[in-house]
Structure 1
């Protein structure tokens, strides 16, 4: 059952976390934390998302805070380093924040940058990781079909593990996959799963070799589990730049999947200056534990968002709760 709005607001804490570097165009990440019967949980849709989309994130928060998690099949989750669209000379410093990571996800196709910038950044990652390191690139659907094909040709010499969401539509992904098949570089779908009306359409169209799943945007651990099972494709569990609480949600999802062939994008707490947890879920020896972190009251106070931003977020919770009241299956 969906908890009453008053029960959510009674424990709601809005936090503002400064970041070590700009990522997705932001330098501060905001989130709402709630304490449910199962422990702390998180609601942190990006500010540009409308209420309909954001309501899935509130569904996920309720799922994690008011419902028992699935039985874990593993106790630690291997994670990748995440390299924002930084200059090549800054790559080594970013990677140093992910000790032991054998895989790096590199952001490409940043607005205002060029393919040459992407190539230089990926080259720097390859030099830092060595020949045995794994590199995946993420374009966040910002290339058109021809740009994606050209970019993959340019980045192929760096031995890519896969290319994540190179184009926006399922049809484009399917055509791109056909065009680059001979290079044996897999195509992964992210936005075509988490932002789609039908998250299974990309799998049914044969438009991807694997899917990227994120617990919050997909409505929670249990909903994401169902999508992975129905898609029948290998899955990478990733995060949406969450606090340690949201990362814990993703870690419990990863722990419950029968197969986990890829390192997961659950190391991004390393991109924050501070975190809400007493022991932040930052990578140690390339992995994070499957735990519910202890949330520190003193950290919540220190990281508290100002009154204006707090009220903005709490009003968003109210609106999304109204959407869920019309029909929710937890």
Structure 2
């Protein structure tokens, strides 16, 4: 691991923000994050609140890399992105999709706690109707099904011509078993949590349990670490966000721009889920794509979304704890 900048330098420009969401997503209505500026530009630390410090420290490593080290050379100037449809009622689908200009692909959240398969079917049917026959529809269960439930759900949703099914089950062995069971349907399985939350992010590829990988820069420790995982896995990749601010989305764009091959639209259009952002011009899709660029907040834009005082303290203490974990790693060599 590279030497760390002094903690004082990280904290010098750190601002804790709270972005309101247009629709409840992942069970939250507000997304909190820390943004700070390094020599290369603004960067973001935003592990979800429930994550422990060892996991969150990986996100901090990514943030420091993006702020203090040049990004790999890009091989493309723009990245096609998908619309993201939370687990809303079918009647709300059109309003969600209207926030994504020109996106030809939609990722639909399914397997939401408290909902049933009929809710998923109605939502995906509404998305397919809105996207038309040429649109691409993928679903994301976030590991919410067991193998039998996943098989039943995929059968029920197959009529909507799914591009792929993301993390239908939580365990690698379950993904492999499901992939065998539904192989004849020719619907690929994508792995997300089995990569970004795994001690061994390559295990899912070695087990033949997925057809493609969903990769996120922060949870994997940074752009370079994510690129190395994709190269070693030898599978197609989709770059996605972790409900980042536009600063965090810049990190995802740097990753997507540097991938040698990018066959799928990426999940980096999620600024459309917010009603406010850290920049005056959020990274929103135009014609279904994002230009590869770096978001730069101003004092005024950060002031508008500053988190409450108690949350600022909570986040800055968390950042300092994670920094000390990274410092220990550097010391151990």
TM-score, normalization by structure 1: 0.99
Residue 64 in structure 1 maps to residue 63 in structure 2: no
The alpha carbon displacement at 1:328 in A equals 4.5
Partner residue in 2 for 1:52: 54
Matches within 5 A, 1:269-308: 269-308=271-310
Runs of 5+ consecutive residues of structure 2 not aligned to the other structure: none
- Distance, in Å, in 2 between the alignment partners of 1:192 and 1:328 is 26
1:38–1:64 contact (8 Å) kept in structure 2: yes
SS in 2 for 1:59: helix
Partner residue in 1 for 2:43: 41
Residue by residue, what CA displacement relative to the aligned partner does 1:244-283 show, whole Å, maximum 9, x if unpaired?
0000100010000000000000000000001111321011
Matches within 5 A, 1:1-330: 1-328=3-330
Residue by residue, what CA displacement relative to the aligned partner does 1:179-206 show, whole Å, maximum 9, x if unpaired?
0000000000000000000000000000
SS in 2 for 1:326: helix
Number of equivalenced pairs: 330
SS in 1 for 2:214: strand
Residue by residue, what CA displacement relative to the aligned partner does 1:210-263 show, whole Å, maximum 9, x if unpaired?
000000000010110100000000000000000000001000100000000000
Runs of 5+ consecutive residues of structure 1 not aligned to the other structure: none
- Distance, in Å, in 1 between the alignment partners of 2:260 and 2:328 is 33
Runs of 4+ in 1 over 2 A off after TM superposition: none
SS in 1 for 2:173: helix
SS in 1 for 2:281: coil
- Distance, in Å, in 2 between the alignment partners of 1:328 and 1:198 is 20
User: What is the aligned-residue RMSD (CA, Å)?
Assistant: 1.0
TM-score, normalization by structure 2: 0.98
Structure 1, 250-259 or 274-283: larger mean CA deviation: 274-283
Residue by residue, what CA displacement relative to the aligned partner does 1:138-161 show, whole Å, maximum 9, x if unpaired?
000010010000000000000000
The alpha carbon displacement at 1:302 in A equals 1.2
